[in-house]
Amino acid sequence: MTRHERVAQIVHRYEVDTLGAPFKVFVLDCVTKKVDPETGKVFTTIPDLVGLIQAVVRSRVTHPRKLNGAELKFIRNALGIKANTVATFFDMSPEHLSRCESGAKVMSSLTEKTYRLMMFLASFHPNPEELLLDAENGEEIAEDMEKKVKRPEQIAKKFVEHFLTMRIDAAYDAAEELCFEFSKEPLGPTDSDRPTDDDEPEWEPKLVCCGGR
C-alpha cells in the first residue's frame, strides 16, 4: 500500500460481480477494500486473480448441472481461448459453437462432457489455447503438461475423480442459482510460515446454493 492510502479492510464475503460469470462467485476473508484519499475512490484488492479465475472455471466444469450458453462462453473466455480454436478442436463449425453459446442450440451431452474435460485440463496450463492447438495438431500434450504444470499427478487424480463418475444433470430447478464460494488460507505472520512456491495455497472452492429450494 502506498503512503497515500488508508488502512485496508478485509471483506468477510465479497461478491465478485465484475468477473463476468453467469453465476455468483464469492470470495471469503481475503479481499480488501481501501480508500485512495487523492481520488476518493474505493479500491478493491483481490489476491491471485489468475488463480481465482482458473478455480472458478474448475468449479463450474466439475459441477454436474448442464452448462448453458452463457456458461459455455464464460468458460472459454475465462481461459482466453478463441471461439475458432474451440470449434476446430471439438469438430464443430464456428456457427454451431456460436449458436450453443447464444443459447439458440444445446450442446450434446457427449460434446459437453468432452468440453468440460478439456477445459478442466486446460485450466492448469499456463496457455490454455496453446494446449488445445497442440492437441489438435496431434502433439504430445501429456509430456507438455508434465513440464508446464505444477503437481501433474494431483491433477490426474482430480481429473479421474471428477469425470469418470460424472453424469450431467439436465433437469434442475432453474430458480436455484449456482453460487460458488472461494477462500484461501491466510499466510502466517512469520517467514517460516510462508509457503514455498510449490505449496502456495490454492483457492479452496465450496458450492453454496442461492434461492430456490
Partner 1 sequence: MPPQPQRLFKIETIWIREYATTYLPTEAGFSFSDEDLRASGITLVAVKHMLSRGRVVFADKLDAPGAIWVVEGPDSEDNWYRATIRVISENLDVTLMEIEPTKREEPNKKVATE
Residues in contact with partner 1 by CB under 8 A are 2-4, 16-20, 30, 32, 34, 41-51, 53-54, 74, 76-78, 80-83, 126-127, 184-187, 195, 200-201
Rounded least distance, CB 170 to partner 1, Å: 26
User: Measured from the CB atom, is 78 or 121 closer to partner 1?
Assistant: 78
Rounded least distance, CB 161 to partner 1, Å: 22
User: Measured from the CB atom, is 47 or 152 closer to partner 1?
Assistant: 47
Rounded least distance, CB 16 to partner 1, Å: 7
193 Cβ contact partners less than 8 Å away, ≥ 6 residues apart: 187
User: Measured from the CB atom, is 35 or 168 closer to partner 1?
Assistant: 35
Rounded least distance, CB 73 to partner 1, Å: 9
User: Measured from the CB atom, is 176 or 185 closer to partner 1?
Assistant: 185
183-212 b/e with 16+ CB inside 10 Å = b?
bbeeeeeeeeeeeeeeeeebbebeeeeeee
Q: Is 207 helix (H, G, I), strand (E, B) or coil?
A: strand
User: Measured from the CB atom, is 82 or 99 closer to partner 1?
Assistant: 82
**Torsions phi, psi of 20, nearest 5?**
95, 10
Closest CA to 57 of 205, 200, 167: 205
Rounded least distance, CB 10 to partner 1, Å: 12
Matching residue, cell 444433470? 169
User: Measured from the CB atom, is 173 or 185 closer to partner 1?
Assistant: 185
**Torsions phi, psi of 186, nearest 5?**
-70, 155
- The CA distance from 36 to 8, in Å, is 10
| Position 22, amino acid | P
Rounded least distance, CB 113 to partner 1, Å: 23
Closest CA to 53 of 144, 133, 122, 156: 122
